[in-house]
């Protein structure tokens, strides 16, 4: 045995109205077995209504080393938030 069984990331929709959420990973030879394994490992107690599996090596992720540059603009542009604007109390809830 030299070849490692591929790794798959598992996403589960807990119920309709919610989006799929990452919950862990499984090893499986192909997508059919990956779904089967995900069902056995992550939904033994009614945790979901729908499962997605994606090959882990197919995911492209942002670089944690560039976290500051990548996400800094959201912190400096405070005018993107509603609390930046002064509205008199008399106007009521807005």
Q: By the criterion CB under 8 A, which residues form the site for another protein?
A: 1, 3-5, 7, 24-30, 33, 40-42, 44-45, 61, 64-65
Instruction: Between 67 and 77, name the residue whose CB sits nearer to another protein.
Output: 67
Instruction: Between 18 and 29, name the residue whose CB sits nearer to another protein.
Output: 29
Instruction: Between 59 and 94, name the residue whose CB sits nearer to another protein.
Output: 59
The C-alpha atoms of residue 81 and residue 9 are separated, in whole angstroms, by 34
Q: Hey, what are 19's tokens? A: 């989006």
| Long-range contacts (CB closer than 8 Å, 24 or more residues apart) made by 78-85 | none
3-class secondary structure, 4: coil
- Residue owning tokens 């509205």: 87
| Beta bridge partners of residue 12, listed in sequence order | 21, 51
In the complex, the smallest distance separating the C-beta of residue 29 from another protein, rounded to whole angstroms, is: 4
Instruction: Between 61 and 94, name the residue whose CB sits nearer to another protein.
Output: 61
In the complex, the smallest distance separating the C-beta of residue 27 from another protein, rounded to whole angstroms, is: 6
């Amino acid at each position: 045995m030299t070849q490692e069984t591929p790794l798959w990331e598992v996403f589960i929709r807990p119920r309709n109205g919610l989006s799929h959420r990452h919950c862990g990973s499984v090893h499986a030879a192909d997508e059919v077995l990956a779904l089967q394994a995900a069902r056995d490992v992550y939904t033994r107690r009614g945790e979901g209504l729908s499962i997605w599996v994606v090959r882990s090596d197919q995911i492209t992720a942002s670089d944690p080393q560039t976290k500051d540059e990548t996400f800094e603009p959201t912190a400096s542009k405070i005018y993107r938030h509603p609390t930046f604007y002064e509205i008199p109390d008399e106007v009521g809830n807005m």
